[in-house]
Amino acid sequence: MSAVNLRLSDCMEELVKFTLESHINETLEFDPGLSKSFCSDLLKHDPNSPTTDSFEGVPPYPLYKRLASGLLESINSKAFCRSQSGLKLIPEGSSSKQEENEWQELVLDKGSEIVNILKSVTHELHVQEPFFSQLKDGQKTIEGRCAVGDYNRIGSGTLILFNKCVVFEVQVPILFFQLICAYLYPLSSASLYPLVLVGGVSCPWVLLPKDESKGLYFRKYVHRYASFSDMLGAESLAKVLPGVETIEEGVQIYREFYTEEKEKTNGVLAIHVSQVDIQPYMCLATLLSVSAYLLLIYPTL
């Protein structure tokens, strides 16, 4: 993983693939109005098609890659493109002016939304299955990594793109604790003083009694440990590696990626994450839904 300056072209194919697969698996929160068989056909590799053939660098199969290329061109040009790579996506005269205006508006709206989401991402990493699916489903909320390189720059509020398609935010629990403290210790209490949050950020309206403040603190949501064993013992094993039953088993999973020497030298991080509300793949699903007529690309291939 590294700090990134993401472009849509870096992840458009994976976004389209993930959106289609999620629709097939009925895990997409939005129905794009496409049949599952159609989506499956877009994802298929054609064994009878020479892999060396391509249209301007875009292979003919699987078809979703050509769809991704057409969508990317439309978003980048901020206009609905009738053709791409020499192919007619929408034949002349097959659509009304009103439909074309709707497509144009949609490309500008959802395309810009996707681009802006990716611009806000500062880190990118890849997670293998089944852990990626567990992340997306909310079963896994803690990502463990060796504390090397740009991982050390991750903090509360950092946006991370997982597997080029789902954006997560490092959790920021401050407001929740502020509200709890304000409820438990109202401003009318005697002997009050301002609470200083982790990181030195003060909150003047949340005050705690001096004699009751000892031991109260805000947890950082990137925790550092000396080893994966320590991390798995301190954090919830079910939130770090769902389905793994023992700490020893969990350590062996991490050992596939990090040597014991690297672990001891650098330490490890437990990164608490949650999905952001607006996801690029959901914007893409909306784009596919409203502009489903674009998928006339399919019978022309």
Report DSSP state, residue 241. Answer: S
Residue 187 has pLDDT above 70, yes or no: no
CA distances to 8, 86, 142, 202, 247 from 223, rounded to whole Å, are 31, 52, 10, 21, 17
The two tokens of residue 224 are 């550092």
Residue closest to 295 by CA, chosen among 88, 61, 30:
88
Spell out the domain ranges in the chain.
7-121+280-300, 174-212
Contact between 75 and 114 under an 8 Å Cβ cutoff? The reply is: yes
Residue 259 has pLDDT above 70, yes or no: yes
Residue closest to 135 by CA, chosen among 283, 240, 28:
240
- What percent of the chain stands above pLDDT 70? 67
The pTM of this model reads 0.76
Band of residue 204 on the pLDDT scale cut at 50, 70, 90: very low
pLDDT tens digits, residue range 238-254? 999 999 999 999 999 99
28-37, 134-143, 198-207, 225-234, range with the lowest pLDDT: 198-207
Buried b / exposed e over 6-45, threshold 16 CB at 10 Å, is bebeebbbbbbbbbbbbbbeeebebebebeeeebebbbee
Name the one residue in this structure whose structure tokens are 């660098």.
57
Give the integer Cα–Cα distance in Å for 65 and 12.
9
275 SS3 class = strand
pLDDT for 63: 87
Which residues lie below 8 Å from residue 93, measured CB to CB, with a gap of 6+? none
64-68, 71-75, 94-98, 278-282, range with the lowest pLDDT: 94-98
22 SS3 class = helix
Indicate if the alpha-carbon torsion angle 290, 296, 298, 301 is positive or negative: negative
